[in-house]
Amino acid sequence: MTDWKKSSQSIARTIAAGDIEKALKMLSQAEKDFGHKAGFHLLKGDALWSCGEIREGCYAYERALEIAPDSVDTLCAAALARYDFLEFAEARDMATRALELADPNDPTRADLYDILSCLAERDGDFDESDRLTTLATEIDPEAFPSPCRMKEAEFHAVAAEAVHALPAEFLKALQDNLAIVIESIPPKDILEMDDPPLSPSLLGLYTGVPLPERDSSTSPPHLPDVIHLFQRNIERESSSRDEVADQIAITVYHEIGHYFGMGEEELEELDLG
C-alpha cells in the first residue's frame, strides 16, 4: 500500500467522522506531498461539500474528472454535484456513463441508480423512478431503504394527522397566516431562489416574510405564508407510515421555526436542523 493510499484512507475516515477542519489541513499536506491526484480532488470535494462549501466542492469534483474521466467514483460524485446544481441533463449523462463503466459488483451502482431515480422523478416518470430505487435498494438496503410510497390522498391524511398533533402555539400560527401546500417534488423555480440553489432533495420549505421582519404598518396585509411539503422526498426518507408522519412533523416544526424568525443554527440547537 502506497503512502498516498494510507493518507487518502485516513483523510476519508476524518471526513466521515465530521472533522472537516482537520480533513482540510490533512488535504493541504497531502497536496504538498503527493500533488494533484484525482483522488485528492475527490476527497477535497467531499470535505468542502460536507462543510457547506457546495460550489467549491463542485469545482473539486470537476477537477478530479478532468484527471480521471473514466473513474466511476469521480463520475458519481460529479453527477451528484451537477444534480444538486440543477444541471439535470449533465447529471444524467455522467451517471449513465458511470453505470456503463461500473463493474457488476461495484457498490457505487446503488448511488448511480439512486441519482437516476431522482432524475426520472423530475421528468415525472414515477414508475421508472421507483424501478431504479428498487435496484438501489437491492444493492445497498442500508443506504437506500425501500421508501414508503403512498397515494396522494393517503399522504394528505397522514400530513393532517401529523399537523393536528403539533403544539398549540404552532397550530395557532398555521390558523393565523400560514398555509401548508403539498407537492410531489420541489419545483425548479423554488430551488433557484437561492444561490447556490436549494437541494432537489429538500423535504420542506417555508416561503414568506418571517414574523420579526414584518412591518405592522404595511398595508394591505400580505397573502398567507406557505410551508411546502414535498411528498416523494419525504417518502424517500421514510420506510413506514409512522416514519412518514414523524418526518412531516419534524419538517413542519423546522419550517414554522423559520416563520418565527429562527435561523438554521437555532433550529440545530433545538434538534430541528
pLDDT tier at 216, thresholds 50, 70, 90:
low
**What does R_g of the chain's alpha carbons equal in angstroms?**
21
pLDDT at 258: 80
83-139: pLDDT as tens digits:
999 999 999 999 999 999 999 999 999 999 999 999 999 999 999 999 999 999 999
Query: Distances in Å between the alpha carbon of 77 and those of 1, 29, 83, 182?
Result: 24, 23, 10, 30
Average pLDDT over residues 185-197: 92
Q: What pLDDT was estimated at residue 34?
A: 86
Q: Tell which wins on pLDDT, 168 or 76.
A: 76
Query: Per-residue pLDDT tens for 45-93?
Result: 999 988 888 889 889 999 999 999 999 999 999 999 999 999 999 999 9
How far apart (Å, rounded) are the C-alpha atoms in residues 174 and 163?
Answer: 9
Q: What structural domains does the chain harbor?
A: 3-139 (1.25.40.10), 152-269 (3.30.2010.20)
* Selected residue with higher pLDDT from 228 and 263: 228
Q: How far is CA 104 from CA 80, 86, 120, in A?
A: 20, 29, 22
- List, in order, residues 6 or more apart from 268 with CB less than 8 Å away: none
Per the CB < 8 A criterion, the answer to whether 10 and 27 are in contact is no
Give me the phi and psi of 180, to 5 degrees please.
-110, 125
